[in-house]
Chains A and B, each alone.
Chain A
């Protein structure tokens, strides 16, 4: 992990290249996070990749409900030579959840981006094949958003057996 000063230096360099791209930094529990502006995230990641963080360990989403902006896309980058990790976070509103796809930088972002689209409804512009990956293709709704109900079947006991889903006869 780059320590807190290292993180600030990196953020400084990123702001030098593109002034509006970095909204802030966080350093907690030994984890350095760069909070990037969703429109510029591609440039931030490209610069970090050139800096040495050339391995995309993980791309995932998180729903920060009830804080706005609600949807977050997190990128975990890894530098294999220095053994260093850095995270990039981009927060999006549910109203227009568009973000640039990083499949051109890392082909391995294909499936993770589809998963974030499937589960949170974030549209990745420039993704070659953005469709649902885990849920059925015609499913409606984005399951891992916090306001999506968890669903499930009621547990059958004798008292509610008659009004249950009805066993196959």
Chain B
């Protein structure tokens, strides 16, 4: 009897008030190493987390575990061959990497991209944005514990990869964007398949919303968790959905339109509070907007060449090689040496699914670039982790990392 009443008394004495520190007790800070091999860190990210109990007091990300020296490799290859190297940086948004580089080189060369190529580029860029957000959604839901989302998102991803395979022959890292346009025109059947996808995608996005957005667990884990205000984000150099979730509608597609983005009508989803839930909703809403852009681009796809007609930069079509001597010479020069770019430096920025992706190219007049640097959005966004997760729980740290959407390939390059 006394045991149970002791137990009851002890139970009643427990309140949920926070323990106050400094009553003669010492609270030690525990430094925990998360990663680099960890299922929830979205790649090989190592975090040194200083914990007090379960509350994160400080976090130090350690990167470099997938550093591939891509920028150094690019200095060794001709401009044409740099495109596949550069694509493999931010490995979920490969079209964006290629677009930034091709845009930079086109600026240096001063060549015009034909309108059909611009629209095709927009279609592929937005498809890639949807695909990147789908992978983000699937893996983030996996981190939060909602495992079925992974399979649904990857089912959509397979449809998109089928489209990529139709247009370029490869699922990932397609080398479809070339300097001056795109590698090949889209084949027959691509437009129909794309139209079917565009019709289907909003419905699927609604299904994903229905699965997650009203879910009690998702709301509790994401709502009002790790907010960060706009001024801190701007000081840290953060762009993309993270900045838009905090309320700043900065999007390079609207602010500095490139590749005919100003021909399309679309909205920029913007959040209010800047917590994890807003980041989640902003990326989810971007799925709808990207689908709208693809639809408009497909409807208004102009006729014309798919790559610039300047034979000094783009390969001539193969049938011309049998008849024209100049075409043969151009082909030979382009394949062996590549085109030469007059000396200059340029910084070309586009809006990738993670933020501002900028490409700095320095040309010294030869056929190989003298410096290629990608300003990767995840590299800069990662610095926002520390202020975000300060004084939050470890579980919130995992959710915040998921909502941050870092891609280690871009961070480490």
A109 to chain B, nearest CB (A): 7
Q: Does B375 touch A at the CB level, under 8 Å?
A: yes
Q: Does A54 touch B at the CB level, under 8 Å?
A: yes
A135 touches B67 (CB 8 A): yes
B72 touches A111 (CB 8 A): no
19 sample A-B contacts, Cβ–Cβ < 8 Å, listed by A number: A28-B344, A31-B346, A57-B237, A57-B347, A57-B358, A57-B375, A58-B375, A62-B345, A62-B370, A76-B347, A87-B347, A111-B383, A112-B379, A115-B379, A134-B67, A136-B64, A144-B72, A150-B72, A150-B76
User: Quick one: which of B72, B73, B238, B412 has the most chain A CB within 10 A?
Assistant: B72
A56 touches B237 (CB 8 A): yes
- In addition to A28-B344, A83-B256, A108-B383, 4 A-B residue pairs with Cβ atoms within 8 Å of each other are A31-B347, A57-B237, A112-B380, A148-B72
Q: Does B69 touch A at the CB level, under 8 Å?
A: yes
B248 to chain A, nearest CB (A): 8
Q: Mark A99-120, 1 if CB is under 8 A from B, else 0.
A: 0000000111111100100010
Q: Does B356 touch A at the CB level, under 8 Å?
A: yes
Contact partner of B349 (CB less than 8 A), chosen from A57, A109, A132, A151, is: A57
CA distance A102 to B375 in the complex (A): 17
Q: Mark A1-42, 1 if CB is under 8 A from B, else 0.
A: 000000000000000000000000000111101000000000
Instruction: Tell me the dominant secondary structure on chain A's binding face.
Output: mixed
A133 touches B63 (CB 8 A): yes
When distances are taken between beta carbons in the complex, the residues of chain B under 8 Å from A148 are 72
Q: Mark B224-254, 1 if CB is under 8 A from A, else 0.
A: 0000000010111110000000001010000
CA distance A136 to B64 in the complex (A): 8
Given the interface contacts A62-B362, A108-B380, does A54 sit within 8 Å of B345 by beta carbon?
A: no
Q: Mark B361-385, 1 if CB is under 8 A from A, else 0.
A: 0100000001101010001101100
Return the chain A residue nearest B76 by Cβ. A150
CA distance A151 to B76 in the complex (A): 11
When distances are taken between beta carbons in the complex, the residues of chain A under 8 Å from B349 are 57, 85
When distances are taken between beta carbons in the complex, the residues of chain B under 8 Å from A74 are 360
Q: Mark A129-146, 1 if CB is under 8 A from B, else 0.
A: 000111110000001101
Q: Name B residues whose Cβ lies closer than 8 Å to a Cβ of A.
A: 63-64, 67, 69, 71-73, 75-76, 107-108, 110, 232, 234-238, 248, 250, 255-256, 344-347, 349, 356, 358, 360, 362, 370-371, 373, 375, 379-380, 382-383, 412-413
B334 to chain A, nearest CB (A): 22
- Chain A residues bordering chain B, tally (CB within 8 A): 40
When distances are taken between beta carbons in the complex, the residues of chain B under 8 Å from A132 are 64
When distances are taken between beta carbons in the complex, the residues of chain A under 8 Å from B255 are 80, 83
Return the chain A residue nearest B248 by Cβ. A80
When distances are taken between beta carbons in the complex, the residues of chain B under 8 Å from A110 are 383
Return the chain B residue nearest A62 by Cβ. B371
B237 touches A109 (CB 8 A): yes
When distances are taken between beta carbons in the complex, the residues of chain A under 8 Å from B238 are 108
Return the chain A residue nearest B236 by Cβ. A108
B302 to chain A, nearest CB (A): 25
Return the chain B residue nearest A132 by Cβ. B64
Given the interface contacts A62-B362, A83-B255, does A29 sit within 8 Å of B344 by beta carbon?
A: yes
When distances are taken between beta carbons in the complex, the residues of chain B under 8 Å from A85 are 347, 349
When distances are taken between beta carbons in the complex, the residues of chain A under 8 Å from B110 are 29
A108 touches B347 (CB 8 A): no
